[in-house]
Amino acid sequence: GQQLNQSPQSMFIQEGEDVSMNCTSSSIFNTWLWYKQDPGEGPVLLIALYKAGELTSNGRLTAQFGITRKDSFLNISASIPSDVGIYFCAGLGSSNTGKLIFGQGTTLQVKP
């Protein structure tokens, strides 16, 4: 089945630093999504990408849909303590039933 490989698995950075994480797949996705999950909560959508090569920003967050449609990255600029959490990439699978395929997550910790 379709799988996403997300890296790095975890990051520990200083407040103010920029962060980059990425997702790769052996198969093509038509939509890429990035979510953030806080402890004890459900994922919250950050950015949605629909076209190969698309670059989209949401405040300090920027994400890109890879040209090959097999990868995506998320950048967070000037990190702040509330950026702490788990970030997941997700791809809309090929089943056309709205089934999302999630990466394993990147745990981000920010030191004030």
CB 12 within 8 A of CB 111: yes
Which is closer to other proteins, CB of 14 or CB of 41?
Answer: 41
- 3-state class of 83 per DSSP? helix
Asked if 94 touches other proteins (CB under 8 A), the answer is no
Binding segment toward other proteins, per CB under 8 A, in 13-21, 55-63, 68-76, 97-105: 97-105
Candidates 11, 61, 63, 92; binder of other proteins (CB under 8 A) is: 92
Sequence-distant (6+) residues with CB within 8 A of 95 are: none
Dist CA 102 CA 87 (whole Å): 10
Dist CA 33 CA 104 (whole Å): 14
CB of 61 to other proteins, least distance (A): 15
Which is closer to other proteins, CB of 77 or CB of 84?
Answer: 84
Of residues 48-67, which lie at the interface with other proteins (CB under 8 A)? Answer: 48, 50
